């Protein structure tokens, strides 16, 4: 855990500077670009291979959501005079890291994005990739300490990374017009609008934009597929290890949770307006980490501690909503933004959470009903939930109890509960909408599997949640590994080539240069790409485990997939 804390601290606590105004002439080392709001001064950076690219950091894409704007939908950025310094990252959003349990000091004024490109000529029309970071809707930023552009830019695309408001700041829902919820997702929409308006000044094509994300960032991407607010702002989407139908991805009882959070920091009131004024007035640092103080029902034992997340909004006059129907209903009805997608997961996602599970193993052995995901548990009687829990335990570990000796089986169970089944279900439902969908299971194994290594769990089978990020993005932690290992360089090249091919032409393998043709997913064969060494196609990933969950969801009266058919 100490290594994890040091790593996260180096990523999120790297010193940030607020952008300021400068006056200077354009040069090869400090290019100046004119966007809709004014002039930006960037810098020229060197790739790991010695070539160069343009970097513009800390660009404000919305007005600072401070004071009475806290929790509200973002407002368009204001123009400026002079030249805006875009050499350093802006402040990160204040956050509480759920892994290290530490407060990361940030700022309410954190709505910044970063642009990396090899060209500043609008005529080049390079494909644009906009990345949404993960972190349980609770932590993270788009900063290059974690999300460096070197690996992706080698394929001649424009990369944009963004900050968005987190936890209470981004996902408070008071069910009133001023705070209807989903401010963090509306931040992302504001960033997309900025890209649409300005990206041609960085050599990018505003009509060829791919949004992609990991974990909560991936769930966000799937929300944009459904939201009418996002329509027309992107052309393709990549979802890595998360969807809006994951058990942790949508929040219920949002208003009740807000009042519980208020009481936790000293405001006991039944007045929505009084609560809002209080939450807008307290120091930023007091609002981070309220997830753990606002649990409802049995949330201390069931599910992941991720509660300030996207919500279904009430409709109000003169308020544009982000999401007004449940994602499952939207998928079933086809009420979505239909674009080509890549979707998938890592082979052993829940290595990331196995240590926390083992800390509660006595409770899980005694009360297996807590293994049942919320989507099922909250619609069935207690006796049925208990029966389901016993069936889940028996399916994965047989007659044994949970313990370290069956860690791989427990990883499979947690992965299926929180990631793989919902991703397979989303893939199936989306494939019925006549859009290209490319599904994958990623199983790389090298020294770039950083989280698995830092957790001290290298002996467990498979690839950990978030480990693919180190193959997509460069950072100082992995720089030497990449430079010294030719095999690692090839793995990085292959994954980034697949992603950028898709961004360019909506097909991750338009030719045979990678030695395989990635066939689209169909409801009958459920095709997917095994991203490992070597690349190969497969069908019906994790079939036995998925059929087990299909049966549970069927018995619970919920949408499921089975044998090429759905109950929808």
Catalytic positions: 215, 349, 465
CA distance 227 to 232: 11
b/e 344-380 (16+ beta carbons within 10 angstroms → b): bbbbbbbbbbbeebeeeeeebeeebbbbbbbbbbeeb
Q: Provide CB contacts within 8 A for 271, sequence distance 6+.
A: none
Per the DSSP assignment, residues forming a β-bridge with 116 are 55, 159
DSSP 100-168: TTEEE---S---EEEEEES---GGG-EEEEEEE--STTTS----TTTSBSHHHHTTS-EEEEE----HH
Q: Which of 549, 442, 525 is nearest to 491 (CA)?
A: 442
Give the DSSP H or E segment for 426: helix 421-431
Contact 213, 134 (CB under 8 A): yes
425: left (phi over 0), alpha (psi -120 to 50) or beta: alpha
b/e 104-128 (16+ beta carbons within 10 angstroms → b): bebebbbbbbbbbbbbbeeebbbbb
CA distance 17 to 537: 46
Q: How many residues does the chain have?
A: 568
Q: Provide CB contacts within 8 A for 478, sequence distance 6+.
A: 448, 450, 470
What are the distances in angstroms from CA 530 to CA 4, 344, 535?
28, 10, 6
CA distance 92 to 58: 10
Q: Provide the angle, in degrees to the nearest 10, between the axes of the packed helices 216-226 and 183-198.
A: 70
């Amino acid at each position: 855990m100490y290594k994890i804390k040091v790593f996260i601290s180096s990523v999120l606590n790297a010193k940030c500077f607020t952008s300021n105004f400068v006056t200077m002439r354009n040069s090869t080392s400090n290019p100046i670009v004119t966007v809709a709001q004014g002039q930006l001064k960037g810098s020229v950076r060197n790739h790991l291979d010695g070539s160069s690219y343009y970097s513009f950091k800390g660009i404000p894409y919305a007005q600072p959501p401070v004071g009475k704007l806290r929790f509200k939908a973002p407002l368009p950025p204001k123009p400026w005079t002079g030249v805006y310094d875009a050499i350093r990252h802006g402040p990160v959003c204040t956050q509480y890291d759920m892994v290290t349990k530490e407060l990361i000091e940030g700022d309410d004024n954190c709505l910044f994005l970063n642009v990396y490109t090899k060209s500043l000529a609008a005529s080049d029309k390079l494909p644009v990739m906009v990345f949404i970071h993960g972190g349980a809707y609770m932590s993270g930023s788009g900063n290059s300490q974690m999300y460096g552009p070197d690996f992706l830019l080698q394929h001649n695309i424009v990369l944009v990374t963004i900050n968005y408001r987190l936890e209470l700041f981004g996902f408070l829902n008071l069910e009133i017009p001023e705070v209807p919820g989903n401010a963090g997702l509306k931040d992302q929409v504001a960033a997309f609008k900025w890209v649409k308006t300005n990206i041609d000044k960085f050599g990018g094509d505003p009509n060829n934009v791919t949004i992609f994300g990991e974990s909560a960032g991936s769930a966000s991407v799937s929300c944009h597929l459904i939201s009418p607010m996002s329509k027309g702002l992107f052309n393709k989407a990549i979802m890595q290890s998360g969807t809006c139908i994951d058990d942790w991805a949508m929040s219920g009882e949002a208003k009740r949770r807000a009042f519980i959070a208020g009481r936790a920091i000293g405001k006991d009131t039944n007045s929505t307006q009084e609560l809002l004024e209080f939450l807008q007035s307290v120091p930023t640092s007091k609002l981070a980490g309220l997830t753990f103080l606002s649990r409802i029902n049995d949330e201390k034992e069931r599910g992941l501690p991720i509660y300030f997340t996207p919500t279904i909004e009430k409709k109000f006059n003169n308020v544009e909503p982000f999401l007004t129907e449940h994602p499952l209903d939207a998928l079933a009805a086809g009420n979505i933004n239909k674009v080509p997608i890549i979707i998938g997961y890592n082979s052993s996602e829940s290595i990331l959470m196995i240590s926390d599970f083992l800390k509660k193993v006595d409770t899980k052995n005694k009360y297996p009903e807590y293994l049942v995901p919320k989507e099922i548990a909250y619609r069935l009687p207690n006796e049925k939930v208990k029966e389901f829990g016993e069936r889940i335990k028996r399916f994965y570990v047989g007659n044994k109890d949970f313990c370290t000796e069956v860690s791989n089986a427990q990883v499979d169970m947690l992965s299926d509960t929180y990631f793989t089944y919902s991703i397979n279900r989303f893939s199936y439902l989306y494939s019925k909408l006549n859009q290209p969908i490319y599904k994958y299971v990623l199983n790389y194994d090298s020294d770039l599997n950083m989280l698995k290594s830092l957790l001290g769990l290298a002996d467990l089978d498979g690839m950990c949640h978030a480990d693919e990020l180190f193959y997509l993005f460069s950072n100082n932690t992995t720089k030497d590994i990449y430079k010294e290992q030719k095999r690692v360089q090839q793995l990085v090249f292959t994954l980034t080539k697949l992603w950028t091919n898709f961004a360019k032409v909506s097909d991750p393998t338009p030719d045979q240069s990678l030695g395989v043709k990635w066939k689209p997913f169909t409801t009958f064969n459920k095709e997917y790409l095994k991203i490992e060494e070597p690349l190969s196609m497969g069908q019906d990933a994790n079939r036995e485990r998925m059929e087990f969950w299909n049966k549970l969801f069927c018995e619970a009266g919920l949408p499921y997939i089975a044998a090429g058919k759905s109950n929808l």
